[in-house]
Amino acid sequence: MSEQLLLDKNKIRQTVLKQRRAMSASWKTQAELQMLKLLQSWDVFSNAGSVHIFISKSDEPDTSPIIEFGWKSGKQIGVPCVLPDTPELFHSQLNSFKDLRSGALGVLEPSPERRVALIPEIFDLVIVPGVAFDRQGGRLGYGKGYYDRFLKQTCAFRLALAFDFQVLEGVPTEKHDVPMNGILTESGIIEVNK
């Protein structure tokens, strides 16, 4: 990776993460309600039998209402787990929020004794976290590459979950980056790369 590309990525990460930390709780809640409403009436979500979704951090769009709606709709819900000393994500079925504990990177994940392994090939829809995205499907993640490695193993529809301000004109990408098929924000679902 060139030094300039690394600087560009780091600058975007700093700017967008600062914006995420500055959101008011009431604005964030309204945006999340809008996202949930859009997802509930979207055919790709309705038709998905198995959904992979991340457990959100406090400044990310809250994924717990989406997970609850998935359970109510009879969907199998899978979530990522970070295993120490490995670059690959482990995927576990999630049946209850009570099964969650703080994991290797401080993100909630099923506790080791509650994990039920799922293979990447079974997912119909993967809801993906990230720092910034663009309308061409470009994604700037957190820099560890976990999702790019995982997304190469599945044919699922790849849906980014983000606030409007996280969708930029363009984000720097490299040839190993896996593009999104769509982006869900509070303003709507942008479908790209179908």
Q: How many domains does the chain divide into?
A: 1
Q: What does the alpha-carbon distance between residue 33 and residue 146 come to, in Å, rounded to a whole number?
A: 28
CATH of the domain at 36: 3.40.50.10420
- 116 lies in which domain range? 3-191
Tens place of pLDDT per residue across the chain (194 aa): 566 656 688 899 999 999 999 999 999 999 999 999 999 999 999 999 999 999 999 999 999 999 999 999 999 999 999 988 888 999 999 999 999 999 988 899 999 999 999 999 999 999 999 999 999 999 999 888 899 999 999 999 999 999 999 999 999 988 888 999 999 999 999 999 65
Q: Which residues contact 175 (CB under 8 A, 6 or more apart)?
A: none
**37 burial level (CB within 10 Å; 0-12, 13-18, 19+):** exposed
